[in-house]
Structures are given as C-alpha cells and as structure tokens.
Amino acid sequence: MQRGFGFGGFIEHAIGSENSGALLQNLSKDEKYMAQALLAAMKSNGLSSPNPVVGCVLTDAEGNLLAEGATLAYGDKHAETVAIGNLKSREKMKGGTAYVTLEPCSHYGNQPPCAEALLDLGIKKCFVACVDPNPKVNHKGIELLKNKGVEVRIGLMREEAIAWNLAFFSGLKRTRPLVAAKWAQSLDGALADSTGKSQWISGARARKYTHWLRAHYDAIMVGAGTVLADFPQLSAREIESVHRQPVKVIFDPEQQLAGLPADLQQKLLSSTLSGGQKIIWVTTSPAKAGAPTKSDNFYNLLVRSEAVLEDCLDLLSSKEVTNFLGRPIRSVFVEGGPTLLQGLLEQNLADVLHCYVSPFMLTGGKTIFNAKGKYPAVSLDSAVRYKTMTVHQLDDDILVELVPKDRFQDYFGGV
Ligand SMILES: NC(=O)c1ccc[n+]([C@@H]2O[C@H](COP(=O)([O-])OP(=O)(O)OC[C@H]3O[C@@H](n4cnc5c(N)ncnc54)[C@H](OP(=O)(O)O)[C@@H]3O)[C@@H](O)[C@H]2O)c1
C-alpha cells in the first residue's frame, strides 16, 4: 500500500490531522485523484454497510477537478451519482475522466446503473481501482464502458481500495464476518500493567485512529476480563464525524457478568449502551439467575463450549442476530483482552491485525499472548505468518497492520 494508507483508509485523514497532505505529495496526478476519491469515500465511513463505501472524482478533459462524491447510506445513492449531482456543469465533463474506487455497477438494484450514468456524461477515460467481485457486476460495468469507447484503466491504488472495503470483499466469499483484531502493547509485549491497567498504553493520535476504526467496523467485541477490568464504553468518539455506533459484543463463556452485583451490571449496561447501540452477550449456557435479561437492546447468544470462538463468529452472522439488529454484521473489531486475542490468533481466526507498539517497557505486565498458557508452544516452522501491509507512526506509537499470509492472495490476488 502507498505510505500513509491502512485498513481504515488514509490514516492521517482519519484522525483529522492538518498536515495530512504531505504524504500525498509524492503521488502521480492520477494517483492523487484516486487518493482523493478514497478520501471522499472516507466521509461516509461505516455509513453504507453491508454495501461497500465507494468514492468518485470527476475531472474535465484537461484534468481539472470538477466534482467528487461518496456512497450514501445503505440503499441510497452510489458515489458516481452523488459526484454527478455535485457537478456545476455536465457540459464540462465531455471528454473528461472518472476516478472510482470500485467498478461502476451495471445492474438495476436500489439504484440505476452507475456505468450508464458515467456514459451519459460523455467521459473518455475511467480509472477503476478494483473490479467488483459481486457476480451481478463483475467486469460487466467495465465492459459497458469499454463497449462505448471509454478507455478503462484498472488497478490504480487497488490494494488501498480493497483494504478500505475488506469486509465487503470477504463478505462475498463467506458468511462469517471479517475479524479485525486490535491491541496496544509495550515494547516488551505487555497489554496491561501488573495491576491490569491498560487504558493509556497508546497515545492520543493512536487512540483517535482506534475510534475511527470503531466507526468503520460493524461490531466491537471484548472479552469478559476486559469488561470487568476496564468497564469500557466501546463507543466511537474523539473523531469528527461518526455516522453510527458499532454493535457491542461481550464474549463471556463462563457468565462472569452474571456474578456482578446488580448496581455494577447496571453501570456496565448503561455505559456500554451510552452510544445507543445494542449489546450481544455471548455465553455457553443459558443466562443464570441474576444475569441481565433479554430486551430490545440486549441479546444473549448461546454458543457451543467445544468451539466457542468459531461458533460465536458464525452465529454473529445468523438470521436471529441479523433480525435482532435489523442489519447483518459483516465485520467485527476485537479489542481484547489478551485471552480472547490469543484464542483468535492461535486458531488463525483473525483476518486483519491492527497492532500499536508503544515506546516503553512494562516489566511484570500481562504479556501477549500467553496469558493463561492455554496453548502449546509453536516452532518457527509452524508459526502463522502475516504480511505487513501498513507501518505508520502516530506520535511515538508505531501502528502495524497485517493480514495472514494464507489469506493475502484471497483478498488482494486476482485482477
Ligand atoms: N492493551 C490492550 O490493547 C488491551 C485491550 C483490552 C484489554 N486489555 C487488558 O487486558 C486485561 C483483560 O484481559 P483478560 O485476558 O483477563 O480477559 P479477556 O481476554 O478480555 O476475556 C477473557 C474471557 O474470554 C474467555 N475466553 C477467551 N478466549 C477463550 C477461548 N478460546 N475459549 C474459551 N474462553 C475464552 C475467557 O474465559 P476463561 O476465563 O475461561 O479463559 C474469559 O471469560 C485487562 O487488564 C485489560 O485492561 C488490554
């Protein structure tokens, strides 16, 4: 990926940095316009899930910027239509160029075909970052443009565009949601100090990016240990615009929350509900007496104790959960703690890793990922390998984003 881009888009832009333009200066003219289309898409962060969030930039024949647009809410206008609606004069688009982060659609769904709308403008050239894998579109939008004499160039900033919409791409291949694991660690690999405190491991800019990612993914999941230690709010805040709050998933196989006194349960539910979002409580047995009860905002998801994590991920995309939420979960952002993360990583269930390394030692702290020595040691030969996609400095913290090597080809291979 180009420097500065990650799975949440252009990172400095995500956190509202004023000097974010510097990183874009080394790009070619066409890359700059495609980057601008991606930045436009970022304005709709999380808005159109389960549909992809697409960006579009329109220039005249001389390469002057005329308009841009991004996908609106699910079922609403696509990026191309929004950009066209933002044009002051359609005339100027004759012989012009469109830059789109995903192949323009060619079918009548909730919206008319975007490829035809671009043809109506009289464009001469179209840059497409990546082909739409949706069988209804897959190359048909591109063919429609080509057949009418438009020069189509595919692949400009392709990895950046796929990374941005990865939940959409993986959702077309499997029913289980995309799993993004995030943690912050000290140089010596601790996720919390010896008292269990972890709140301020990473700095303010790293935390902002985390808030951005919370708004990007459909759900946040944390283990019961983290809930009991931190009583986290699990909401997206500290960033400029938040279109929606993620669903909260509390992973609590042994029902530790049921043992909490009523006032603490109330505190937990009121703080986690502060973003107005629904909570899914994952347990391996029916709720004990004294546990929070099912309501419009609270759902108890029962999973099999033999395969807690896999079952949990599979059931998060079940009809029952979709009905409870009123929309499907296509991505889950797992924010810890170490026991839950270790379980996911040991079983290679995480699709994307967002890891912050902060510049201090935390001797005696809770290290990753051998919190409870649950898993046997692995040799270098049998270790799960990752591909580093992003390295970005946020003040003194280093953000590294990775995907498992065995899934890289699946996500980023092909045309
Ligand atoms: N630095 C960071 O990024 C960060 C982020 C979040 C939390 N934290 C810190 O992490 C600490 C809490 O972490 P934690 O490890 O105690 O708890 P945790 O990971 O939040 O939650 C563990 C819960 O999940 C269950 N669990 C996880 N994986 C499982 C598996 N494969 N099979 C069955 N059950 C599974 C555990 O059951 P069992 O008890 O049966 O194992 C337990 O109920 C706190 O100190 C918090 O501040 C740090």
Q: Tell me the C-alpha distance between 109 and 107, whole Å.
A: 6
Q: Tokens 């020595």 map to which residue? A: 373
9 Cα: distance to centroid of ligand 1 (angstroms): 29
> What value does the mean pLDDT of the chain take?
92
Q: With bands split at pLDDT 50, 70 and 90, how would you rate the model's confidence at 285? A: very high
Catalytic residue positions, numbered: 80
> What pLDDT, on the 0 to 100 scale, is given for residue 272?
61
> What pLDDT, on the 0 to 100 scale, is given for residue 25?
87
pTM: 0.95
> What pLDDT, on the 0 to 100 scale, is given for residue 157?
97
Q: Tell me the C-alpha distance between 97 and 118, whole Å.
A: 9
**Cβ 252 under 6 angstroms from ligand 1:** yes
Q: Tell me the C-alpha distance between 118 and 149, whole Å.
A: 12
Which protein residue has the closest C-alpha to ligand 1 atom 27? 340
Atom of ligand 1 nearest to the CA of 199: 47
The per-residue b/e assignment along 235-246, b for 16 or more CB within 10 angstroms, e otherwise, is bbebbeebebbb
Encoding tokens for residue 355?
Answer: 């890891």
**Cβ 141 under 6 angstroms from ligand 1:** no
337 Cα: distance to centroid of ligand 1 (angstroms): 4
> What pLDDT, on the 0 to 100 scale, is given for residue 296?
80
Q: Tell me the C-alpha distance between 73 and 44, whole Å.
A: 8
% helix, strand, coil for the chain, step of 5: 35, 20, 45
Atom of ligand 1 nearest to the CA of 185: 1
> What pLDDT, on the 0 to 100 scale, is given for residue 371?
57
**Cβ 246 under 6 angstroms from ligand 1:** no
> Residue 282 pLDDT > 90, yes or no?
yes
Supply the Cα-derived Rg of the chain in whole angstroms.
Answer: 22
- The answer to whether 180 and 217 are in contact (CB under 8 A) is yes
- The answer to whether 297 and 270 are in contact (CB under 8 A) is no
> Residue 111 pLDDT > 80, yes or no?
no
> Residue 277 pLDDT > 70, yes or no?
yes
Rounded to an integer, the average pLDDT of 298-319 is 96
Which protein residue has the closest C-alpha to ligand 1 atom 40? 254
Percent above pLDDT 70 for the chain: 97
**Cβ 365 under 6 angstroms from ligand 1:** no
The sign of the torsion formed by the CA atoms of 232, 364, 372, 183 equals: positive
> What's at 332, amino acid-wise?
V
Encoding tokens for residue 18?
Answer: 């004023």
Question: Mind listing the pLDDT tens digit for each residue in 139-164?
Answer: 999 999 999 999 999 999 999 999 99
